[in-house]
Amino acid sequence: MIRDPRADGFRFPAEWETHARCWMAWPSRDDLWGDRIEEVRDSYADIAKAIARFEPVTMIANPDHMADISLKCGTGVACLPVEHDDSWIRDNGPSFLMDSEGHITGVKWGFNGWGERFVPYDLDAQVPDAILDHLRINRYAAELITEGGAFHTDGDGTLIAVETSIVNSNRNPGLSRADIEDLLLRYTGTEKMIWLPHGLVGDHTDGHVDNVCCFTAPGKVVVLTCDDEEDENHQRLEANRQVLEEAVDAKGRELEITEVPQPRARYNAKGERLPLSYINFYAPNGGLILPAFEDSADDRAHKVLSGLFKGRDVIQLPVLDILQGGGGIHCITLQQPKFMSFQEKKNS
């Protein structure tokens, strides 16, 4: 029998559980960022420094960029030399799982540059091994091509994903949705899958879930909405909401749904719509790092999301420079759960 994380008693912790640190990757792909790369690096540095107020941050960097990180991020952000192609560590980094004793393991997914959309990606595909080797953490190699931003968990047995970003011939040709669901559940230690039909227009990833929906607690989700019936995202987001209204989680709970409206449409220099979303946030220990889009909906998103994560200090940061590359705060961050001793778990 081939062992997998679920069979070995591991589960995928929720993102609001205690972190040991946050991982990030320094922007380096000149053909993506062009002459905006320094502004983008400033934005990454601002996000890293904000997160470092709540938990340790380690930035991986190509060796010739180490000095840049020290200059822009200061001493509060650690740096690890790891060669990589791009800076979306949520997608190409390892997924961290935990067992009932608090031990940590890693899952290395297959990575092919979001369906061969961005090449080269061979260095990005090796990042999970580099991080896990550095941490001396064992790992499972999943026979599935996917990205970490493609799925989200409640930490209590349920996984949610957008079908088009995983059940896709550019990722997993020859595998049925049932095959893919089985692999996802086994390698995340979960029991129930909820498939959403749509991501956002303009999302290079074929529609990652971290732009449209996420759990905020077991049995509770926040979803992106659009009231403008003429907007091309309106029907997509309504279809997602309908699925969630009819869904139950791994424990048989109907989902409590909270809405947050999308910001107004923005476009890049090529006239392509950017996938702007308030769902694309990061929740460090005791904090909440939210995106801001210089939009009238920013304040509303702050109110809704801070209300869902009561007791956390909320920081809202501009991310329009990062969005020119196709992603947001959640896309450039990766939480590493903390090993919890018996006494720590007892006191938590």
Catalytic residues: 331
User: What residues form DSSP beta bridges with 25?
Assistant: 60
Tokens of 22: 């946050």
C-alpha to C-alpha distance for 2 and 6, rounded to whole angstroms = 11
Residue 313 three-state SS: strand
Tokens of 220: 């509770």
**DSSP-assigned letter for residue 5:** T
HSE at residue 84, side-chain half, CA atoms within 13 A, is 29
C-alpha to C-alpha distance for 9 and 173, rounded to whole angstroms = 29
**Which are the contacts of 125, defined by CB distance < 8 A and separation ≥ 6?**
92, 110, 111, 112
Residue 177's H or E segment, with its range, is helix 177-188
**DSSP-assigned letter for residue 11:** E
220-225 β-sheet, strand order: 213-217, 220-225, 256-261
CB 74 within 8 A of CB 110: no
C-alpha to C-alpha distance for 57 and 280, rounded to whole angstroms = 18
**Strand 10-11 to 19-25 pairing:** unpaired
Q: What's the distance, Cα to Cα, between the start and end of the chain in Å?
A: 36
Site of tokens 């006191």: 347
Site of tokens 């595998």: 175
User: Helix, strand, coil: what percent of the chain each, to 5?
Assistant: 30, 25, 40
